[in-house]
């Protein structure tokens, strides 16, 4: 596990940079914290044969702690990523990963990465990646906005959203399941609406499942395109009504 304690500050200032690797490969459970003046990286995890993934590996950025990066921050834990401190990317790139991701009206929700609506409003990243080893769970009403949003998971699951809407807006939105994640936990009970709007919406590798919404709209001013990053074809599966508008 990695803990950044109250009062601690870690920074990566702008300056001379060498080209960083684009992919970091890890084996088994662990916790990775990267604060960089370079570009964002992709983290790939290989499970250990016979081991259950996600049983260990925790990041805790305590309240009062500061992570300050000139260009990118990566927090990737195989179990829990707890962010109570301040993440400063100077409108750069932020990638957050955990065994599960929960967003919105998250009172009482624990485990994985949990970001309330107030937490989401404090994120200042231009480029935001949320990576769940199961689903990204959306609670109640949510409005998420960035220049580029990557949702890398088994899919989206709506909870406690009757009569409510979830809005995700960006210049580019990517829905992908690169690691072949599988949905876990209770079936979603939501019946609200989901709207994803962007200039371009990209469907990446793997099956991406949307549940817990009665109506889902994917709207792109330019195009909705399947563009898998691997040899695994893109697949989008939506429970409820689906509108594609491009």
**How much is the pLDDT for 229?**
80
CA-to-CA separations, 69 to 16, 18, 95, 113, 226, in angstroms, rounded: 14, 16, 12, 20, 32
pLDDT at 150 over 70: yes
How does residue 185 score in pLDDT terms, banded at 50, 70 and 90?
Answer: confident
How does residue 232 score in pLDDT terms, banded at 50, 70 and 90?
Answer: confident
pLDDT at 55 over 70: yes
**How much is the pLDDT for 8?**
97
- pTM of the predicted model as reported, rounded to 2 decimal places: 0.95
> Cβ distance 86 to 66 under 8 Å?
yes
What is the rounded distance in angstroms from the CA atom of residue 26 to the CA atom of residue 31? 10
Give the angle subtended at the CA of 42 by the CAs of 38 and 48, to the nearest 5°. Answer: 135
**How much is the pLDDT for 244?**
96
pLDDT at 20 over 80: no
User: Within 172-225, where are the H helices?
Assistant: none
What is the rounded distance in angstroms from the CA atom of residue 155 to the CA atom of residue 104? 16
- Tell me what the mean pLDDT of segment 135-161 comes to: 97
How does residue 230 score in pLDDT terms, banded at 50, 70 and 90?
Answer: confident
> Cβ distance 30 to 57 under 8 Å?
yes
**DSSP-assigned letter for residue 8:** -
Mean pLDDT of the chain: 94
Task: Tell me the percentage of the chain whose pLDDT exceeds 90.
Answer: 86
For the sheet containing 113-116, what is the strand order? 113-116, 101-104, 136-139, 155-159, 206-211, 234-238
- Short-list 129, 127, 244, 138, CA closest to 197: 244
- Tell me what the mean pLDDT of segment 150-175 comes to: 97
């Amino acid at each position: 596990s990695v803990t950044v304690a109250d009062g601690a500050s870690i920074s990566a200032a702008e300056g001379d940079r060498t080209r960083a690797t684009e992919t970091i490969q890890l084996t088994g459970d662990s916790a990775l914290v990267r604060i960089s003046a370079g570009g964002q990286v992709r983290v790939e995890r290989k499970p250990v044969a016979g081991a259950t993934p996600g049983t260990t590996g925790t990041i805790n950025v305590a309240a009062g702690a500061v992570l300050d990066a000139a260009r990118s921050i990566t927090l990737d834990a195989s179990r829990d990523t707890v962010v109570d401190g301040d993440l400063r990317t100077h409108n750069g790139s932020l990638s957050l990963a955990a065994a599960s991701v929960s967003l919105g009206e998250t009172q009482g929700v624990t485990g994985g990465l949990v970001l309330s609506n107030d937490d989401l409003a404090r994120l200042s990243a231009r480029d935001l990646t949320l990576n769940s080893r199961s689903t990204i769970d959306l609670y109640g009403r949510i409005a998420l906005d960035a220049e580029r949003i990557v949702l890398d998971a088994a899919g989206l699951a709506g909870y406690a959203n009757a009569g409510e809407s979830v809005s995700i807006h960006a210049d580019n939105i990517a829905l992908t399941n690169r690691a072949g994640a599988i949905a876990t936990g209770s079936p979603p009970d939501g019946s609200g609406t989901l709207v994803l709007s962007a200039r371009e919406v990209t469907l990446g590798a793997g099956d991406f499942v949307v549940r817990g919404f009665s109506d889902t709209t994917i709207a792109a001013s330019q195009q909705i395109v399947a563009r898998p990053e691997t040899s695994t074809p893109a697949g989008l599966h939506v429970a409820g009504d689906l509108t594609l508008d491009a």
